[in-house]
Amino acid sequence: MRFVLTAEEYAVILAAAQREGLATGAFAAQATLAMAQGRARPEYALLRELLEELMRASGRVRRLGVNFNQAVAALHSTGELSEQLALYAHAAARVAEKLDEAAEAVRARLP
């Protein structure tokens, strides 16, 4: 198989091959085969997944913050520790865990 690249296209492929520790031809063959088999995804697909997860986490954090503030306000006005406050603290820990998982998933996918 043969194909023609511009100098700029070749430079991009050469840099990617070097990052992967492969010869240029080996890298091109692996990338082409991966795309043909549906294993390679465009870069924006990973970013879209990340954005969706971050938007979900952002919504959870926002709702949790409102609830937490209400529970703390009740604590200040009554002086009594409510069960709500403990529930929101546990929820905050779960959300932080989910954010950690999302960050780890992104880290694992990056070269």
Pair (51, 71) in one structural domain: yes
pLDDT of residue 58: 84
Q: Quote the pLDDT of residue 42.
A: 58
What is the number of domains present in the chain?
2
Residues 47 and 97 in one domain: yes
Task: Please give the residue range of the domain that contains residue 89.
Answer: 43-109
Q: Are residues 91 and 49 in the same domain?
A: yes
Residues of the chain with pLDDT under 70: 40-46, 111
Q: Is residue 32 part of a domain?
A: yes
Distance CA 97, CA 111 (A): 23
Give yes or no: residues 18 and 48 share one domain. Answer: no
Q: What is the pLDDT of residue 6?
A: 94
> Residue 48 falls within a domain, yes or no?
yes
Query: How much is the pLDDT for 62?
Result: 87
Q: Report how far residue 3's alpha carbon sits from residue 104's, in angstroms, rounded to the nearest whole number.
A: 38
104 in the same domain as 65? yes
- Residues 50, 104 share a domain: yes
Residue 2 counted as domain residue: no
Residues 96 and 48 occupy one common structural domain: yes
Residue 93: per-residue pLDDT: 86
Residue 82, Cβ density class (10 Å: 0-12 exposed, 13-18 middle, ≥19 buried): middle
pLDDT at 41: 60
Residue 97 in domain: yes
Q: What is the pLDDT of residues 71-89, one digit of tens each?
A: 888 889 988 888 888 888 8
